[in-house]
Amino acid sequence: MPERELTYREAVREALRQAMKNDERVFLMGQDIGVYGGAFAVTLGLLEEFGRERVIDTPISESAMIGGGAGAALVGMRPVLEIQFSDFIGIGMDQLVNQAAKIRFMFGGLAAVPMVLRAPIGCGTGAAAQHSQSQEAWYTHVPGLKVVMPSTPYDAKGLLRSAIEDDNPVLFLEHKLLYGIKGQVPEDSYSIPLAEAEVKRSGTDITVIAYSQMVSRVLQAAEELSKEGIEAEVVDVRTLRPLDTETLARSIGKTHRALVAYEAPSFGGYGAEIASYIGEELFDELDAPVVRLGGLDMPVPYNPELERALVPQPESIREAVKKMLNRT
């Protein structure tokens, strides 16, 4: 397929456009997604192309939006919802966690909720404590929900198509700092299976596992480490739930060391789940204890220097790897 460069934002928009063209059941709901084009301009132009019946501006009520989306999915539609900031999914947690996530199980598979909930996540934009959190671990704890966090424009387009075609509720979390990055993206429609991790960089000395925005920082750290003779393998899990444990096992079976890097506070973060799997299932493969490198245990500060210090950066990832390899 011929490729050209798109931003992450454009790749998501193209996935939405192609899904809406291919399936009349797909429609969009969200706050300011119509005339305004969305808080991060992802849906810009889609109202003019598809009209108000398929690009619906909703009231500022996440509970009503998520509940309405679940209801539409139950009667055969495939809604894609956009929450302006992932921090506010909490306002609709009952509709998401107690309704959408459980309906297929409670009805013995006779009902399904094929709904995608898109939301920007993460810090780095100076949006302060209430608009900058990384709460992905909340959602991965809920049976019935799938959680996807792509790191590149290519992955974002392919994974969003798979999410829209899935018969389960999917949270599709897009890091704010990724919207402007560019990458090669085929023009044709394509899909990337959910629950399929990818090795973004091959290496032999250590496996560094990440997702979303943290992948680019890990790759930057890996290139610097290579200059010092340390070859890190970088695994992007892409889908947090369900987790592709086979790719993790193959990588760690080769490197025998594992570092998990993530932006959320280290305590109780999703990286702990990955580390637990490695410690329980891959213990005999390890030459050293698995290590987590997460964010600090505090709300996100407004000050840009403090905000940067809150979460792992390439330099702290590099130092963590060297410490594990006794190369400090």
- Summarize pLDDT for 204-249 with one digit per residue, the tens: 999 999 999 999 999 999 999 999 999 999 999 999 999 999 999 9
Give the mean pLDDT of the chain. Answer: 97
Q: Going along 202-310, which residue ranges are E strands?
A: 206-210, 232-236, 239-241, 258-265, 291-295
Q: 121 — phi, psi (to 5°)?
A: -135, 160
What CA–CA distance (Å, rounded) separates 247 from 219? 18
128 and 167 both lie in a single domain? yes
Q: Is the pLDDT of residue 1 over 60?
A: no
Q: Is the pLDDT of residue 3 over 80?
A: no
Q: Does residue 193 lie in a domain region? A: no
**pLDDT tens by residue, 185-216:** 999 999 999 999 999 999 999 999 999 999 99
Which residues are tagged catalytic?
A: 131
What is residue 319's DSSP assignment? Answer: H
What CA–CA distance (Å, rounded) separates 67 from 93? 10
- The answer to whether the beta carbons of residues 59 and 30 sit under 8 Å apart is no
Domain edge (last residue) among 186, 213, 236? 186
- The answer to whether the beta carbons of residues 151 and 215 sit under 8 Å apart is yes
Domain edge (last residue) among 154, 186, 218? 186
Residues 6+ apart with CB under 8 A from 200: 151, 215, 219, 234, 235, 236
243 and 112 both lie in a single domain? no
Residues 6+ apart with CB under 8 A from 113: 70, 73, 74, 100, 101, 103, 104, 168, 169
Neighbours of 327 (CB within 10 A): 13
User: Taking the model in full, what pTM does it have?
Assistant: 0.96
152 and 209 both lie in a single domain? no
List the helix and strand counts (H, then E) for the chain: 12, 14
Q: Does residue 161 lie in a domain region? A: yes
266 and 168 both lie in a single domain? no
Give me the pLDDT at residue 327, please. Answer: 82
What CA–CA distance (Å, rounded) separates 243 from 197? 8
Q: For position 281, which CATH number holds?
A: 3.40.50.920
Q: Which domain holds residue 249?
A: 198-324
76 and 182 both lie in a single domain? yes
Considering its fold, how many domains does the chain have in total?
2
Give me the pLDDT at residue 277, please. Answer: 97
